[in-house]
Every structure is written in structure tokens, then in C-alpha cells.
Amino acid sequence: MMRVDDLVERIAALQRSDLEAWIRDELVVPWQDAGTLLFNDMEFARVRLICTLHYELEIDADTLPVILSLIDQLHETRQRLRSLSAAVTKQDKSVQAAIIAAMDRASGSSAPGSEET
């Protein structure tokens, strides 16, 4: 866990005032321990991402929440897809084949060598 000063020191471009605004706007949600803000690895990575978006790509402060929300949704979707994939791999081969066939039908494609009905 890192404190605010550690974070500002490790990310050269980071302005403390910007970090405080991002915390206030809940773009970053640090852990609080006895009034001290602490950042875990995930929040540290999020701050680095926000810095890249804001300082390097020049995304304005009003647009940051929209972009971060989309990234969060994408991340959640990927996590759910991984969970679904893990659940499918635990099924019998016949169930796996039925799921793949249903996915092919839903996407309008068919597996190589198979015929659509």
C-alpha cells in the first residue's frame, strides 16, 4: 500500500491537486486507515492510467469519468467471460459442444465442416 506522497513521487507527471480532484470525484478510491489515504496496486495502476489519459492524451477532466466507466465495463465483461469460460470447461464434452453450437447459431456462423440447419 502506498500513501499519497509515495504515489506523487513515483508518478512524475502526477500533480497532487489533480489526484485530490480525482479522489473527490471518486475516479480513484483509496483505502483509508486512521485518516491516511492508502493506494493498493490496482488503484496505483488506475492512477497511472488516468495520468496517461489526462497528461499524455490530453483527455479533459469532464471526459475522464466517461472513459473510465467504459474501461470499467469492459473489464467487468472480460471477468464475466473468463468465469463463463471456466464454467464451460468444467462441463461434459457434449455440453461444451452444445454451447459452442448455440454460440455459432447466435452469431450466424457455423463451425468448419458443419452444416447449418
Domain boundaries of the chain, sorted by first residue: 1-61, 64-109
* CATH class, range 1-61: mainly alpha
Contact between 27 and 68 (Cβ < 8 Å) = yes
pLDDT of residue 107: 86
Is the model's pLDDT at 96 over the cut of 80? yes
pLDDT of res. 23 = 96
Mean predicted lDDT score pLDDT of the chain: 92
DSSP H stretches of helix in 1-117: 4-10, 16-24, 41-51, 64-89, 93-107
pLDDT tens for each residue of 22-74: 999 999 999 999 989 999 999 999 999 999 999 999 999 999 999 999 999 99
